[in-house]
Amino acid sequence: MSKEIKRIAVLTSGGDAPGMNAAVRAVVRTSVFYQLECYVVYQGYQGLIDGKIKQANARSVNNIINKGGTILKSARSLEFRTPEGRQKAYGNIKKFAIDALVVIGGDGSFTGAMIFQSEFNFPVIGIPGTIDNDIFGTQHTLGYDTALNTVVEVIDKIRDTASSHNRLFFVEVMGRDAGHIALNTGIGAGAEEILIPEENRGLDQLLESLKRSEKSGKSSSIVVVAEGDKTGKNVFELAAYVEQNLPYYEVRVSVLGHMQRGGAPSCFDRVLASRMGVHAVESLREGKSQVMVGVMNDKMELTPLEDAIKGKSEINKDLLRVTDILSI
């Protein structure tokens, strides 16, 4: 682990997130700055197994900081979950004489990196890339801020049509088992109710809230629902239940889906990705490994990969109080 780092490889894995390209750019250019060779791996861990590895330079990553998705592609790799698959990947790493690996992805990607490091004593470092913001050890993951802006923009448009027809809209947003996107966009878009996995408000409380909204003179309402919320079996059954019990509401459902992952990264995500990429390379040069780069109180921090995987990101409880106050 104390071997001098001369060649670094970078890959993206798991679900794509805006800002991944900016992070790749930062890793490549920081490597060049420190006179290290840098290699990019296409199609995630599967590309590592298949030898889809190419040397990069500062010009290789021109004009990608503004692009969404990942130019390196991302793919699920069942083969990497096997010892034989990881052995093939390590064989290609030795073939290209790579000394360390930067993995941009979520907790599943970090699990693969941690196993790989433990099996081959090979330096790895993680950069959190997921719109869900559900990684322990960082207050912001790459793509989260962009997703918030995308969702708020769409809900603003939905509110235009909701108010025109006096309708109640249930808007489902991503987030997996975390409510960060729903909670923040719900406040930002002025939603009447926000349903998240961390706070099971129950159907009765939802109905009472909507009754109060109707009695207070609200002609239209927006309910933001995190995909992991368990108030109803799914957002469509939840909407049907409300329409059945509150027949004066005309209910519609909008599932935003994968549009939340797309689009050019926000300025915040571009800057965050750049900082994380620089810190990842510098940390490897200092002999750090099996850690994730994160941002806490606007400072770059390192968290052991195991903690990043097993830890739980917490929602801001004060935001729950804010939404209760403002939804009257």
Residue-range domain boundaries for the chain? 7-143+265-310, 144-261
Task: List, as one string, the DSSP characters of 213-224.
Answer: HHHTT-S-EEEE
Q: Tell me the C-alpha distance between 196 and 227, whole Å.
A: 8
What pLDDT was estimated at residue 1?
A: 45
Same fold, 7-143+265-310 and 144-261: yes
Q: How far is CA 41 from CA 103, 137, 161, 254, 279, in A?
A: 10, 26, 45, 37, 20
Active site positions, annotated: 132
Half-sphere exposure of residue 268: CA atoms within 13 angstroms, side-chain side: 13
* Residue 276 near residue 26, CB atoms below 8 Å: yes
Low-confidence residues of the chain, pLDDT below 50?
1
- Write out pLDDT tens, residues 40-77: 999 999 999 999 999 999 999 999 999 999 999 998 89
Q: Which residue stretches of 216-260 are H helix?
A: 235-245
pLDDT at 201: 78
CA distance 30 to 58: 9
> What would the two tokens of residue 284 be?
């490897």
Distance CA 170, CA 261 (A): 20
d(CA 256, CA 131): 13
Tokens of 249: 């509401």
User: In 3D, which of 150, 196, 184, 189 has the Cα closest to residue 169?
Assistant: 189
Position 2 scores a pLDDT of 58
Per-residue model confidence as pLDDT tens digits over 103-126: 999 999 999 999 999 999 999 999
Class of domain 144-261: alpha beta
Instruction: Please determine, looking at this structure, whether the domain spanning 7-143+265-310 carries the CATH number 3.40.50.1100.
Output: no
Residues 14 and 321: their CA atoms lie apart, in Å, by 34
